[in-house]
Structures are given as structure tokens and as C-alpha cells.
């Protein structure tokens, strides 16, 4: 069984599921999952978990993400990006001073309306299914955090910016909301995820270069928790998923067998419980 984490630079015009399916064929395993969808239009960091590591998907999904995006002003589409059907258009008249003011004063936390073209479910049905059936539905809202927001370039009606956001933030919706603050329409023209947690774009593999021999990341290279060497007795307890008494005050630890991590344990009252194991 192939077990580990693979960092992909997702190419444009492929869905995240397309990438998962391709990696599944390359590594000859059906146990492949990703830790955060990227739109077909988007590129950048896509973290895949293979084999036993698919149980870590939720762990890694919770990490904050960094993006570089291009906003096109003066247009609104049903998908909130340039691939959608145009709903509204108008000549853009916003000044650079207004743009910088909106970016500088945009709230660090707010309730963001989820786009209808998304896989979020409402009454056990995905929102994009309502959209495709031309059915009206009240869109859910989520509290999101905008941890940083920096303008990189303004050229005519296009704004390139970098942002770090919390889990569940839609950049398409953020662009709509930024444009609205300017009194304009706005859609996403380009998007690159440059970072997720500690994983950087420059450390990702291009999809076309991946073979079944491309090495996968293991626990010891993913997490920087304090490390504790295990005894043979401890290994048996880990295999059985038992609680452990450990001489540490750390919230989480990596349990090591020589140079290889075998489990993550988390503090629980006066002892430690297992979060994840590979033995």
C-alpha cells in the first residue's frame, strides 16, 4: 500500500477530482483524497493524501491558505468568475484611492455568502444542483477570517492581490464582496493557491512530472510536533490504539521509531490519545 502525502501544482482547466483520478491511476490505489478543492480555473497547491494518510484529510484541510488572485471589475457572472454567464456589466469608474481604501478597511472577519456554484449542501443537495435546475435557494453564510489582504498591482480594471484566509473562504465570494464595497461588480479572472499551512507552491510537483516513483511525504516531514522515541511495548499499545502516559506537556506529539514517525498523539486529561497511526 502506498501511504503518504503528495503536493501537486494543480494545472488550469482541471478539476481537483481530475487530479485525484490521475494520481490514483499512477500509484495504482483507489485510496486518494484531497484537502481542499480548487476551481478548474485555479492553479497551485493541492495536497493529496494516499493510502492510510487519507485519514489525515480533515487534519490538513483545517490549515489556513494563501492565494494570489486577479479581480476583474465591471462584470458579474453566475459563477463569480470569468467562466460564467454574464449577469451584469458596467463601465468601471473606481479610483485607485478608493481601491486601496477598500482593501485597507475590509473586515478581518465577516459572514461570507457561499456561491451558488459550489459543492456546499443545502437540504442534502449540492448548491450547484439548484443552480443547474434554475431553482432559487437561500444561500448559506459562513464566518470567515481574512488574515491578510495586499494589493500587488492595479492595471485598468484588473486588480492583482495576495490574501491569507481561513478554511472555507471562497475567493470568488471575497472578490464579489470587495468589488461591492467599491460600488462595483467584480469577478475572479485568475487564482493561484500559493500556500496551505506549511506547504508552499515551490515544493509542489507539476502533474505531468509525477510517476509511481515520485516520493511521498511522511508524518515526520509534515508535522513539527515534539518527538518521542517509542519502545517495543509502546508500539504494541499504539497498534491497538491504546492511551499512553507520556513524559511531556505538549498538546500533540509525534511518536518515533528511530527516524520514522509511527503515530500522532494528543493530550487528553492526564494521558495521551491517538489521533493517527501508520503501524
Whether 182 and 207 share a structural domain:
no
Contact (Cβ atoms closer than 8 angstroms) between residue 171 and residue 67: yes
Give residue-wise pLDDT tens across range 23-40: 999 999 999 999 988 999
Same domain, 118 and 212: no
Whether 177 sits among the annotated catalytic residues: the reply is no
Q: Taking Cα atoms as reference points, which of 26, 75, 53 lies closest to residue 186?
A: 75
178 with 156, same domain?
yes
**184 Cβ contact partners less than 8 Å away, ≥ 6 residues apart:** 73, 74, 90, 92, 94
Q: Are residues 50 and 100 in the same domain?
A: no
For residues 78 and 189, state if they share a domain. yes
183 shares its domain with 69: yes
State which residues form the domain around 245: 220-277
- Is there a single domain that holds both residue 205 and residue 86? no
138-196 per-position pLDDT tens digit: 788 999 999 999 999 999 899 999 999 998 999 999 999 999 999 999 999 999 999 99
Residues 181-238 have pLDDT tens digits of 999 999 999 999 999 988 999 999 999 999 999 999 999 999 999 999 999 999 999 9
C-alpha cell at 71: 479581480
Whether residues 185 and 126 fall in one domain: yes
- Same domain, yes or no: 116 and 174: yes
CATH of residue 125: 3.30.2350.10
Same domain, 75 and 177: yes
Of 18, 39, 177, 206, catalytic: 39
Report pTM. Answer: 0.90
- Please check whether residues 39 and 138 belong to one and the same domain: no
| Structural domains of the chain, count | 3
CA–CA separation, 50 vs 147, rounded Å? 30
Per the DSSP assignment, residues forming a β-bridge with 217 are 5
Q: By three-state DSSP, how is residue 185 classified? A: coil
Query: Are 111 and 189 within one domain?
Result: yes
- Residue identified by cell 510536533 is 225
Q: Are β-strands 109-113 and 86-89 bridged in parallel, bridged antiparallel, or unpaired?
A: unpaired
Amino acid at each position: 500500500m502506498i501511504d503518504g502525502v503528495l503536493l501537486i501544482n494543480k494545472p488550469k482547466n482541471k478539476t481537483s477530482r481530475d487530479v485525484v483520478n490521475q494520481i490514483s491511476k499512477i500509484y495504482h490505489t483507489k485510496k486518494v483524497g484531497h484537502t481542499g478543492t480548487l476551481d478548474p480555473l485555479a492553479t497551485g497547491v493541492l495536497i493529496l493524501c494516499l493510502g492510510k494518510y487519507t485519514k489525515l484529510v480533515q487534519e490538513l484541510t483545517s490549515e489556513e491558505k494563501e492565494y494570489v488572485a486577479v479581480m476583474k471589475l465591471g462584470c458579474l457572472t453566475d459563477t463569480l468568475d470569468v467562466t460564467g454567464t454574464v449577469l451584469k456589466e458596467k463601465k468601471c469608474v473606481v479610483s485607485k484611492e478608493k481601491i486601496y481604501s477598500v482593501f485597507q478597511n475590509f473586515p478581518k472577519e465577516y459572514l461570507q455568502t457561499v456561491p451558488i456554484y459550489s459543492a456546499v449542501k443545502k437540504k442534502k443537495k449540492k448548491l450547484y444542483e439548484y443552480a443547474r435546475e434554475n431553482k432559487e435557494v437561500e444561500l448559506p453564510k459562513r464566518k470567515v477570517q481574512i488574515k491578510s489582504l495586499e494589493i500587488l498591482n492595479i492595471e485598468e480594471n484588473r486588480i492583482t492581490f495576495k490574501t491569507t484566509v481561513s478554511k472555507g473562504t471562497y475567493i470568488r465570494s471575497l472578490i464579489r464582496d470587495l468589488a461591492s464595497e467599491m460600488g462595483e461588480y467584480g469577478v475572479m479572472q485568475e487564482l493561484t493557491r500559493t500556500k496551505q499551512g506549511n506547504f508552499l507552491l515551490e515544493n509542489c510537483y507539476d502533474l505531468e512530472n509525477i510517476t509511481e516513483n515520485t516520493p511521498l511525504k511522511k508524518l515526520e516531514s509534515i508535522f513539527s510536533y515534539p518527538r518521542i522515541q517509542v519502545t517495543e511495548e509502546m508500539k504494541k499499545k499504539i497498534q491497538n490504539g491504546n492511551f499512553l502516559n507520556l513524559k511531556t506537556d505538549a498538546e500533540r506529539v509525534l511518536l518515533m521509531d528511530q527516524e520514522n514517525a509511527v503515530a500522532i498523539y494528543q493530550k487528553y486529561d492526564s494521558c495521551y490519545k491517538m489521533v493517527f497511526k501508520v503501524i
